[in-house]
A and B are shown apart, each in its own frame.
Chain A
Amino acid sequence: MLWFVAPAMVLFGLFVLWPMASAFYYAFTKWDGFTAPVWVGLANFQRAFADSVHLMSYVHVVLYILGTFVFEVSFGLVVAVLLNSDRRGFEFLRGLFFSPVVLSMSAAGVLWAFVLDYRSGLVNALLKAMGAGDLAQPWLSQPTTALIAITIVSGWKYSGFYMVIFFAALRRIPRNIYEAARLDGAGPVRMFFSITLPLLRQNIMVAILLAVTGGFAGFDLFFTMTNGGPFSATEVPATWIMKQAFDQNQLSYGIALTVILTIVVMVVSIVYLRFSERVGVARY
């Protein structure tokens, strides 16, 4: 009978659990990946908590995650409500809106690096065409705009995913609830807040969890668009870890940073799940 779980457990143990467990050992050593590791206790962690770029990378990723709540989850929800119709053409619109989701992050990143390019990018060309050339910015070259630019691109890429989740959930809400509300004289805005939102609460909770765990894993877009720059303004844990690990044989320092990331993600997820259980969204 074990034959049925063995392939999954072996694969999972070998390529997920084992590297994770070994990380907890190497994080306490000085190791270049080549020679024998030397036990150094908490040295890597001391450095990690003094490393201002590392600490700021968590600020950036939190800002990014908050941004995804707006540009991915909320925007996806609004569009799902907007495009929730049986009328001809709406399915086509939904299909188009969703299409960026299937593209690879690297393709999206490269495409948007061009869209946002200072000299020949689409955004600045558009501003110039509208006579607002003064507003043209080097979007990805300024610490003030780079992170928000990436967050918006992320919204472009993923809002379709949340739209689809919410759309499927919207279809399950019985029509007659809306009919009754309409007879009571409720407008679309009031119906959204008094019927749609409460009934989608469970889906919203799940969407937020996905946005949080997905946000901490964020790497591709940051790597292709700015690789952490300018001046570490878009440095997130994943990009910083990669830089540290392979720069100057500091492998064990990079590993210590991954251990911190693992713990942070686990704690955040578990706290969130406990919280959502309490509000009655028992999942997982």
Chain B
Amino acid sequence: MQMFRGVLAGLTLLAMSGTALAVTEIRITHATTGGAEKEVLDQIVADFEAANPDIKVVQIPFDDDTYSDTGLITQLQGNPVPDIYFQWAGYPVARDANAGYAADLTDALKSDGWGDTFVPSVWSAGAGTMVDGKPYLIPASLDVTNTIWYNKTIFAEDGLTPPKTWEEFLALIKVLVEKGETPIIEGNQEFWPFGNWASHIAAKVVPPEEYAAAFEQTGKFNTAGFLKALNHIQELHTIGAFNKDMAGLGADPAMATFIEGAAVMHPIGSWLIGTAKELGDADFDYASFDTPVIDPTHPLKDSVIGTVTGWVVHAKSTHQAEAVRFLKFYTNEANQIKRAEAGSLSPIKGVNEKANLDPQTKQMAEMLATAPAMVPPPDTTYPVPVAEAYYQAAAMVATGEKTPVDALVWLDDTVAVIGKQ
């Protein structure tokens, strides 16, 4: 027992040294590991610490996939909890609020009119920042979660222009295949990268009620609408649109390969802009077009897919006041302009207009402003296991593992086993 007591004494010492510090430490965990966005975050943290010498900000970054896999959840349950954590609006915020991880920020947003500095739409019911009318997520950026980025230089060389319809899109891919290019690169090891695109395709062809019912587990996936969506994905596979290693390639390597110019198109979210700033050569010229209209009669035919991301204050944090102080600093106009110029669209009023946006960010801003409808990604809207099952079924079709019919049968079976969430 002697030794064990020694160990316990050591532990007590360790615990005491942690609390004896005069400076308050706030822990902030996120999935920003590189790119221009990370540089701005580091800058904001440094500026904040300089302005608030009594607070030290500890960042706990994870790569994106680990963060959503085990990185965040082990921390939320851990000890000490992170004071501030990055989260996607919608289902994850609702889950965190119900599980008691997320703090109600009503009072903080009321003080100094902080809440009014945001564009009003982020506080609408569909934005996913509120649960039961109370705000839990401080929006930090407006993300398009999928659009089709293309290499302008290669398009120009081959005399191609962004397609208006699905047929034009397929024809364009065929041209690229004949030239021996990799038309579309996707790193789909974790399913969400292609899953977002596949969901957007589905949202554009499946009747909206049918779409919602399937993801909410009140209906089936094996319907005429979803079959049509997966058939379109199969068309892409059949003409050889995708890179061969799509199923095992990580999202980041795929993006880097596109930025290096080794593939012509890359369907991914607006965060590509920040990475391209860091990795791209000076002559790397790119732009985006959104998934073309597939069914001209569908109500969401020219919707965009996107969501809000932001910060949650942990309900069990003992430094909530300091955490709020940091987030106010983070969302002030000067810092938001820095973030917007690094490629991240701001939810703060007037920032995107004042900032000197690069052409791609400007394009995203226009896309969001002009789109008649916005579709949220299923994994932030519906139960995650159901969304991921759909992503996986879509990936199976995209890589030729299963036919659309088989994939839908598999999908309904899988969702049945998961059970009602």
Q: Which of B366-388 contact A (CB under 8 A)?
A: 383-385
Interface-lining segment among A94-102, A206-214, A239-247: A239-247
Tell me the minimal C-beta distance from A254 to chain B in angstroms. Answer: 11
Out of B2, B69, B73, B248, name the residue touching A229 (CB < 8 Å). B248
- Given A10-B4, A229-B189, A231-B395, is A247 in contact with B384 using a C-beta cutoff of 8 Å? yes
Q: Is B244 touching A141 in the complex (CB atoms < 8 A)?
A: yes
Q: Is A143 touching B401 in the complex (CB atoms < 8 A)?
A: yes
Q: Is A231 touching B383 in the complex (CB atoms < 8 A)?
A: no
Tell me the minimal C-beta distance from A235 to chain B in angstroms. Answer: 12
Q: Which residues of A contact B384 (CB under 8 A)?
A: 247-248
Q: Does A129 contact B (CB under 8 A)?
A: no
Nearest A residue to B1 by beta-carbon distance? A6
Out of A34, A118, A146, name the residue touching B249 (CB < 8 Å). A118
Q: Is B4 touching A7 in the complex (CB atoms < 8 A)?
A: yes
Q: Does A194 contact B (CB under 8 A)?
A: no
* Complex CA distance for A226 and B244, rounded to whole angstroms: 16
Tell me the minimal C-beta distance from A217 to chain B in angstroms. Answer: 18
Q: Is A242 touching B70 in the complex (CB atoms < 8 A)?
A: yes
Q: Is A47 touching B419 in the complex (CB atoms < 8 A)?
A: yes
Q: Which residues of B contact A269 (CB under 8 A)?
A: none
Q: Does A104 contact B (CB under 8 A)?
A: no
Q: Is B99 touching A231 in the complex (CB atoms < 8 A)?
A: no
Q: Is B385 touching A247 in the complex (CB atoms < 8 A)?
A: yes
Q: Is A118 touching B417 in the complex (CB atoms < 8 A)?
A: no
Q: Which residues of B contact A138 (CB under 8 A)?
A: 244-245, 247-249
Tell me the minimal C-beta distance from A180 to chain B in angstroms. Answer: 54
Q: Does B262 contact A (CB under 8 A)?
A: yes
* Complex CA distance for A246 and B257, rounded to whole angstroms: 31
Q: Does B80 contact A (CB under 8 A)?
A: no
Q: Is B417 touching A34 in the complex (CB atoms < 8 A)?
A: no
Q: Is B248 touching A140 in the complex (CB atoms < 8 A)?
A: yes
Tell me the minimal C-beta distance from A228 to chain B in angstroms. Answer: 10
Interface size bracket, A side: 20 to 34
Q: Does B106 contact A (CB under 8 A)?
A: no
* Complex CA distance for A6 and B3, rounded to whole angstroms: 10
Nearest B residue to A32 by beta-carbon distance? B99
Q: Which of A220-279 contact B (CB under 8 A)?
A: 226-227, 229-231, 242-243, 246-249
Out of B246, B262, B413, B421, name the residue touching A248 (CB < 8 Å). B421
Identify the interface centre among A3, A47, A50, A248: most chain B CB within 10 Å of its CB: A248
Identify the interface centre among B1, B73, B384, B392: most chain A CB within 10 Å of its CB: B73
Return the CB mask of B106-137 against A: 1 if under 8 Å, else 0: 00000000000000000000000000000000
Identify the interface centre among B95, B246, B249, B385: most chain A CB within 10 Å of its CB: B249
* Complex CA distance for A243 and B421, rounded to whole angstroms: 17
Q: Does A85 contact B (CB under 8 A)?
A: no
Nearest B residue to A233 by beta-carbon distance? B247
Q: Which residues of A contact B100 (CB under 8 A)?
A: 34-35
Q: Does A176 contact B (CB under 8 A)?
A: no
Q: Does B74 contact A (CB under 8 A)?
A: yes
Q: Does B363 contact A (CB under 8 A)?
A: no
Return the CB mask of A59-76 against B: 1 if under 8 Å, else 0: 000000000000000000
Return the CB mask of B388-421 against A: 1 if under 8 Å, else 0: 0000100110010100000000000110010101
- Given A47-B417, A231-B395, A249-B99, is A243 in contact with B69 using a C-beta cutoff of 8 Å? yes
Q: Is A141 touching B248 in the complex (CB atoms < 8 A)?
A: yes
Q: Does B77 contact A (CB under 8 A)?
A: yes
Q: Which residues of B contact A246 (CB under 8 A)?
A: 69-70, 73-74
* Complex CA distance for A254 and B329, rounded to whole angstroms: 40
Return the CB mask of B324-340 against A: 1 if under 8 Å, else 0: 00000000000000000
Return the CB mask of B1-25 against A: 1 if under 8 Å, else 0: 1111000000000000000000000
Nearest B residue to A116 by beta-carbon distance? B248
* Complex CA distance for A119 and B187, rounded to whole angstroms: 13
Return the CB mask of A142-153 against B: 1 if under 8 Å, else 0: 110010000000
Q: Does A51 contact B (CB under 8 A)?
A: yes
Q: Is B77 touching A229 in the complex (CB atoms < 8 A)?
A: no
Q: Is B385 touching A248 in the complex (CB atoms < 8 A)?
A: yes
Out of B244, B417, B421, name the residue touching A50 (CB < 8 Å). B417
Q: Does A22 contact B (CB under 8 A)?
A: no
Q: Does A33 contact B (CB under 8 A)?
A: yes
- Given A119-B262, A243-B69, A247-B385, is A231 in contact with B417 using a C-beta cutoff of 8 Å? no
The 5 closest A-B pairs by CB, nearest first: A141-B248, A138-B245, A230-B247, A141-B245, A118-B245
**What would 9 A/B residue contacts be, using CB atoms closer than 8 Å?**
A34-B77, A51-B417, A118-B244, A138-B248, A230-B247, A230-B399, A231-B399, A246-B70, A247-B73
Report B's interface with A, CB cutoff 8 A: 1-4, 69-70, 73-74, 77, 95, 99-100, 189, 243-249, 257, 262, 383-385, 392, 395-396, 399, 401, 413-414, 417, 419, 421
- Given A3-B1, A47-B419, A249-B95, 6 additional A-B pairs, CB 8 A: A32-B99, A33-B77, A138-B248, A140-B245, A141-B249, A229-B189
Report A's interface with B, CB cutoff 8 A: 3, 6-7, 10-11, 32-35, 47, 50-52, 118-119, 138, 140-143, 146, 226-227, 229-231, 242-243, 246-249
